[in-house]
Amino acid sequence: MTAEDSPPSSYIGMEVVIALASVLGNVMVVWAVKINRSLRDTTFYFVVSLALADVAVGAFVIPLAIIISTGLKTHFYSCLMVACILLVLTQSSILALLAIAIDRYLRVKIPLSYKRVVTPKRAGTAVVACWLVALIVGLTPMFGWNNLQNFPTNDSQQPNPIITCKFEEVISMKYMVYFNFFIWVLPPLVFMLIIYVEIFYIIHKQLNHSLNKAISQTDPSRYYGKELKLAKSLALVLFFFAISWLPLHILNCITLFSPTPKTKNIIYVAILLTHGNSAVNPVIYAFRIKKFRTAFVKIWAQFVCCKKVKLSARKATRRKECSERKMREISDI
Would you call 193 exposed, middle or buried from its count of C-beta atoms within 10 A (0-12, 13-18, 19+)? middle
Q: Which pLDDT band holds residue 216 (cuts at 50, 70, 90)?
A: very low
Average pLDDT of the residues in 298-323: 60
d(CA 101, CA 237): 11
What's the pLDDT band for 331 if we cut at 50, 70, 90?
very low
The answer on pLDDT for 190 being more than 90 is yes
Is 20's pLDDT higher than 90? Answer: yes
Long-range contacts (CB closer than 8 Å, 24 or more residues apart) made by 177-182: 177/249, 177/252, 177/253, 177/256, 177/257, 179/137, 179/140, 179/145, 180/87, 180/91, 180/137, 181/249, 181/252, 181/253
Alpha helices in the chain (DSSP H): 9-35, 42-56, 62-69, 76-109, 114-117, 120-139, 167-170, 173-174, 182-184, 186-208, 213-216, 220-257, 264-288, 290-299, 311-327
CA within 13 Å, CB half, 156? 1
Average pLDDT over residues 132-141: 96
pLDDT at 317 over 80: no
For residue 312, what pLDDT band results from cuts at 50, 70 and 90? very low
pLDDT digits (tens, 9 = 90+) for 229-284: 889 999 999 999 999 999 999 999 998 998 777 678 898 999 999 999 999 999 99
pLDDT of residue 332 exceeding 50, the answer is: no
Q: 36-40 — which CB contacts under 8 Å span 24+ positions?
A: 36/291, 36/294, 36/295, 37/321, 38/291, 38/321, 38/324, 38/333, 39/291, 39/292, 39/295, 39/333
Residue 38 confidence class, pLDDT cut points 50, 70, 90: confident
Torsion from C-alpha of 46, 50, 53, 57, nearest 10 degrees? 180
| Residue-level pLDDT at 321 | 54
Instruction: Specify the pLDDT at position 40.
Output: 82
d(CA 132, CA 125): 11
The answer to whether the beta carbons of residues 321 and 37 sit under 8 Å apart is yes
The pLDDT value given to residue 322 = 53
Query: Which range among 4-8, 124-128, 271-275, 321-325 shows the weakest confidence by mean pLDDT?
Result: 321-325
Q: Give the global pTM.
A: 0.84
Spell out the domains of the chain, with CATH numbers in brackets.
9-327 (1.20.1070.10)
pLDDT of amino acid 311: 40
Q: Is the pLDDT of residue 6 over 80?
A: no
Q: Which residue has the higher pLDDT, 154 or 258?
A: 258
Average pLDDT for the chain: 84
Least confident of 16-25, 117-126, 169-178, 207-216: 207-216
What pLDDT, on the 0 to 100 scale, is given for residue 286?
Answer: 85
Mean pLDDT value of segment 62-71 = 84
Distance CA 88, CA 56 (A): 11
Segment 237-243 long-range contacts (CB within 8 Å, at least 24 positions apart): 237/97, 237/100, 237/280, 237/281, 237/284, 238/97, 238/101, 238/189, 238/192, 238/193, 238/196, 240/277, 240/280, 240/281, 240/284, 241/93, 241/94, 241/97, 241/277, 242/189, 243/273
User: What is the pLDDT, as a whole number, of residue 219?
Assistant: 61
What HEC string does 261-292 produce? CCCHHHHHHHHHHHHHHHHHHHHHHHHHCHHH
Residues in the chain: 333
